[in-house]
Amino acid sequence: MEKKIQSPAMSYFMRLVRTKGFALAVIVIVLSIVIYFINPNFISSRNLLGSIFVPMVVPGILLVAVGPLLIGGAIDLSCAAQAAFASVIFAKLLEGFPSMAWPVAVIITLLCGVGFGIINVLLTNGLNFMPFIATIGMSSVYTGFASWWTLMNNVPVNNDSFTNLGGISFGGTIPLLFALMIVLVAAYTYMLSNTRFGRSIYMCGGNQVAARLAGLDPKKVRGALFVNSGVISALAGIAWAAQLKMGHPTNLATGAPPANFSALTALILGGTSFMGGSGGLVAGVIALLLVTVFDNGLTILALANATAGQPMYGAYVNTTLKGLILIIALMLDYVSTTRKQRAIVAAAMKNRDMRKAAQEA
C-alpha cells in the first residue's frame, strides 16, 4: 500500500489539533456559545471590553513573569505582591515629583523590579532557600511594607497622559494594554522556542543533572528568570495603575483570587508542568481566557437568577470553582508527569536488557 503524503499545511494543522491549546480554544468557543444563549449581551463590546479583556491584562502579564520560571523548574509566588508594590512606587513617584515625566517613573519602577528579582536570587541561589518558601516570605514583606507606606490607602495617579493609556481600545473592544500583553506573550514564546536561552530553560527545568553535563548552570538560568519575573511583575503593576488610575498595596496580592493565582491556574491548565521542563505561554493565555469567560458566565447566570428573584449563588462560587480548576489541573499534571517518568524508566530498562542480551550473544 502506498503511504499517503500529507501536505505541509495539513501536517501543521494535524499537529495543531493535537495541542492542548487547540482543545482549550474549542472549549472557549463552546462555552461562549452557551453563555450567548443565556444572555446575548455577552458578545457586546461593553462586556467583552470590561469583563473579558481588561481583567485579563494583569494576570496575563504576570503569566509572562511566572511562566518561564515554572518551565525552568522554579516558582515565584511573590509576583502579585511585587506588582502591587510597583503600582505604589509608580504612583508615589508621580505624586512626589509632579514635574516628572511618566516614562521616567516607568523606568525607575522597572529598575525596582530588577531589585525585586535580585532579592529572590540572593535568597534562592545565595542562601539556598526553596523558591516556594522564599517567594511566599517576600510576598508578605512587599505587602507589609507597601501597606505601612500608604497606611492601606490607594495612591491616586493624576497624570492624564498616562492614565489615558488605560482607556485606549481598538474598535471599542480590544484595550491597548491587552494588546501589549499579547505582544509580550508572543515575544517570550519566540524566545522559549527559538533561542538558545529558551532551550536552556526547558533543559534546566526538565533535568538539572543533564543540564549541568551539557555545560549549563541552572542557578544562573534561574537567577535570570527571577530578575525577569521582577521586571515583568513591575510592568504588571504599572499596567494596573493605568487601568484604575491608582496604586494600591494589597489589591493585586490579596484579591479573590490573587492575580498570580489566576496566572498559575492558567499556566497549569494550559499544560505547563508544575515540575518544570515543559509547557508554553500561548496555551496558558487561552486557558486564562477560558477561566475569564467562565467567570463572566457565572456572573451573568447569577444576575439572571437575581432578576428572576433567586439568590445570586453564582456570584459567590467563582473563587471556589477556580480553586477546584487549579486542583484538577495539578492532578492531571501529576498523572501526566508520572506516566512520562514511568515511560522513561521502562525505555531505559529495555535498552539495558537489549545491551545485556547483545553482550551475552
What residues are paired with 345 via a beta bridge?
none
Question: Quick check: 287 and 269 in contact, CB under 8 A?
Answer: yes
Give me the amino acid identity at 61. Answer: I
Residue 270: exposed, middle, or buried by beta-carbon count in 10 A (0-12, 13-18, 19+)?
buried
Instruction: For the chain, list residues with pLDDT below 50.
Output: 1-2, 12
3-state secondary structure of 169: strand
Residue 23, C-alpha cell as written in the block: 482543545
Q: Taking Cα atoms as reference points, which of 122, 119, 152 lies closest to residue 138?
A: 119
Cell numbers describing residue 212: 549541568
CA–CA separation, 162 and 166 (whole Å): 8
Q: Measure the CA–CA gap between 304 and 35, rounded to whole angstroms.
A: 11
Please tell me the predicted confidence (pLDDT) of residue 1: 44
Specify the pLDDT at position 344: 57
* Residue showing cell 508520572: 338
Q: Contact at 8 Å (CB) between 110 and 231?
A: yes
Q: How far apart are CA 337 and CA 315, in angstroms?
A: 35
Give dist(CA 61, CA 82) in Å, integer.
Answer: 13
User: 3-state DSSP call for residue 175?
Assistant: strand
Asked if residue 261 lies in contact with residue 326, where contact means CB atoms within 8 angstroms, the answer is yes
The gap from C-alpha 203 to its chain's centroid, in whole angstroms, comes to: 20
pLDDT for the residue 117: 96
Residue 81 backbone dihedrals phi, psi, to 5 degrees: -65, -35
Q: Is 93:108 a contact under the CB 8 Å cutoff?
A: yes
Q: What is the pLDDT of residue 21?
A: 75
Give the pLDDT score at 122: 96
Q: What pLDDT, on the 0 to 100 scale, is given for residue 316?
A: 60
Note the pLDDT tens digit of each residue in 101-140.
Answer: 999 999 999 999 999 999 999 999 999 999 999 999 999 9
Give the pLDDT confidence score for residue 275 in this predicted structure: 82
The DSSP bridge pattern shows strands 246-247 and 155-156 to be antiparallel
Please state the domain extents for the chain.
44-255+273-278
Q: How far apart are CA 112 and CA 54, in angstroms?
A: 25
**Cα-based distances in Å from 327 to 39, 196, 204, 295, 320:** 30, 33, 25, 17, 11
